[in-house]
C-alpha cells in the first residue's frame, strides 16, 4: 500500500499577515485593551501569508454560528472538490475508482457530511464507503492517512481517498480577546488537501511518479491532557482552547514516541532520511526539532508551509506531504516519518519507505 498522490486547494483571497492583523485591529476597536499586542502576537506566528474563503471586509457580516457554518459548508464543498480532482488526476484515476472516502475537519459540521455532498457532484460509486472524522483537529491529517492505510491493508485491491478541509477563519470569535484567540487568528488559515492511498494490489499499486509505501502507523494518546487544545462549543460557534503548554507536551513525549515506534519496526532515527511534520507553529516546530536533535533545515518544508499558507489544522501535514511528493521525494529505499499532534492530546506517526 502506498501514498499515490496529494492534491491541495486554497481559497482565492490571499492576504499578508500584516493586512490581516490590521483588519482585526480595526474590527475589534474598543475591545482590545492593547491593539499592539495583537500585532505583536501575529508577527511571532511565523506566518507571512494566508488564504481566506472570504474577503476580510465580509467577515463582520457573518452573525452567529448558523451563518458561519453555512459559509463553511459552501466553501468546504468547493475547496474539497478542487483538492480531490487534483489528487485523482495526479494518481491517474477517477472518482469511480475510489472504494472508500475518509473526510476530516474540525472547523465546521454538516449532515449529510461534505463527502456525501461531493458524491452528488462527482462520479464516485454509489456503494463507496464513507468515514467522516470530526474532533481530531491538527492530528487528523496524519490519522486520516493511517486509517486509509488500515482500509487498503484489509482490501488490497481497492483505493481509499482522504480529504481534509479546514476553514479556520470562520471560527474567529469577535467577543473573545483572550491570548489564545489572538494567537489563533494569527496562526490558522484556510485550505484543503486530498490524498490517494492505494492498496498493494490496486490498479495504481506501482505509479510512475515518486510515491512512498506505508509500512506502519502508530497512535498515541496522552491521558488527562484534554485542556491543552480543542474547542469550547458556544452559541457563537467554536471558541479556541489553546494552551501555552503545547510545546512542553511535545518535548516530554515526542522523542519517546518516535524512538519506540522505530524500534518496533527494527529501525533507529539514523535510518530516517526526511521528516514530514505538521506545521503547528514556530514553538511546536522548534520543540519537534529540539526533541529529535534534528539538523538545520530538516523541517524546511514544514516551515515553508507555515510561512506561505499558515497552519491549516488537519490539512497542514498533507500540504507538506505534497511538497515532498512533488519537490523533495526521498531516494529509493529511504525512510520518512509523517507526524502530527493534536487535541486529546495525542500524536500520530506514519512510517514511509520510498
Catalytic residues: 138
Of the candidates 225, 110, 237, 220, the residue with the CA atom closest to the CA atom of residue 173: 237
In the block, residue with C-alpha cell 488527562: 224
Count of other CB atoms within 10 angstroms of residue 120: 9
- Which strands form 213-221's sheet, in the order they lie side by side? 129-134, 100-105, 159-167, 190-198, 2-9, 213-221, 346-353, 335-342, 272-277
Beta bridge partners of 164: 104, 193
Phi and psi dihedrals of 274, rounded to 5?
-155, 155
Backbone angles phi, psi at 124, to 5 degrees: -70, 155
Q: Residues 6 or more apart from 217 whose CB is under 8 A from it?
A: 145, 146, 149, 150, 348, 349, 350, 351
Q: Which residues pair with 228 in a beta bridge?
A: none
Location of C-alpha cell 486547494: 9
Neighbours of 327 (CB within 10 A): 9
Q: How far apart are CA 31 and CA 142, in angstroms?
A: 37
Neighbours of 320 (CB within 10 A): 28
Outline where DSSP puts E strands in the chain: 2-9, 13-16, 49-52, 100-105, 129-134, 159-167, 190-198, 213-221, 229-234, 237-242, 272-277, 335-342, 346-353
CB 203 within 8 A of CB 2: no
Amino acid at each position: 500500500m502506498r501514498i499515490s498522490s496529494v492534491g491541495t486547494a486554497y481559497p482565492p483571497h490571499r492576504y499578508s499577515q500584516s493586512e490581516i492583523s490590521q483588519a482585526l485591529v480595526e474590527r475589534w476597536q474598543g475591545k482590545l485593551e492593547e491593539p499592539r499586542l495583537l500585532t505583536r502576537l501575529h508577527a511571532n506566528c511565523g506566518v507571512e501569508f494566508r488564504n481566506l474563503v472570504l474577503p476580510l471586509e465580509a467577515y463582520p457580516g457573518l452573525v452567529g454560528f448558523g451563518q458561519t457554518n453555512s459559509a463553511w459548508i459552501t466553501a468546504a464543498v468547493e475547496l474539497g472538490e478542487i483538492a480531490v480532482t487534483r489528487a485523482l488526476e495526479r494518481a491517474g484515476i477517477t472518482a469511480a475508482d475510489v472504494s472508500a472516502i475518509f473526510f476530516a475537519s474540525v472547523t465546521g459540521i454538516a449532515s449529510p457530511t461534505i463527502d456525501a455532498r461531493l458524491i452528488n457532484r462527482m462520479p464516485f460509486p454509489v456503494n463507496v464507503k464513507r468515514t467522516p472524522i470530526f474532533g481530531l483537529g491538527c492530528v487528523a491529517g496524519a490519522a486520516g492517512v493511517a486509517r486509509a492505510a488500515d482500509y487498503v491493508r484489509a482490501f488490497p485491491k481497492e483505493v481509499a481517498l482522504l480529504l481534509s478541509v479546514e476553514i479556520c477563519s470562520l471560527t474567529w470569535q469577535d467577543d473573545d480577546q483572550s491570548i489564545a484567540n489572538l494567537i489563533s487568528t494569527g496562526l490558522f488559515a484556510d485550505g484543503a488537501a486530498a490524498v490517494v492511498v492505494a492498496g498493494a494490489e490496486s490498479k495504481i499499486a506501482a505509479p510512475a511518479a515518486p510515491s512512498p509505501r506505508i509500512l506502519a502507523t502508530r497512535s498515541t494518546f496522552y491521558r488527562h491532557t484534554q485542556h491543552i487544545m480543542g474547542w469550547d462549543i458556544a452559541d457563537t460557534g467554536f471558541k479556541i482552547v489553546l494552551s501555552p503548554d503545547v510545546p512542553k507536551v511535545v518535548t516530554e513525549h515526542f522523542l519517546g514516541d518516535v524512538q519506540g515506534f522505530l524500534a518496533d519496526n527494527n529501525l533507529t532515527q539514523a535510518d530516517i532520511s526526511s521528516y514530514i511534520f505538521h506545521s503547528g507553529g514556530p514553538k511546536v516546530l522548534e520543540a519537534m526539532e529540539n526533541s529529535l536533535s534534528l539538523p538545520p533545515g530538516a523541517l524546511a518544508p514544514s516551515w515553508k508551509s507555515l510561512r506561505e499558507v499558515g497552519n491549516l489544522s488537519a490539512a497542514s501535514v498533507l500540504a507538506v506531504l505534497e511538497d515532498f511528493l512533488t519537490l523533495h521525494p526521498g531516494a529509493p529505499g529511504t525512510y520518512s516519518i509523517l507526524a502530527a499532534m493534536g487535541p486529546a492530546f495525542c500524536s500520530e506517526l506514519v512510517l514511509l519507505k520510498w
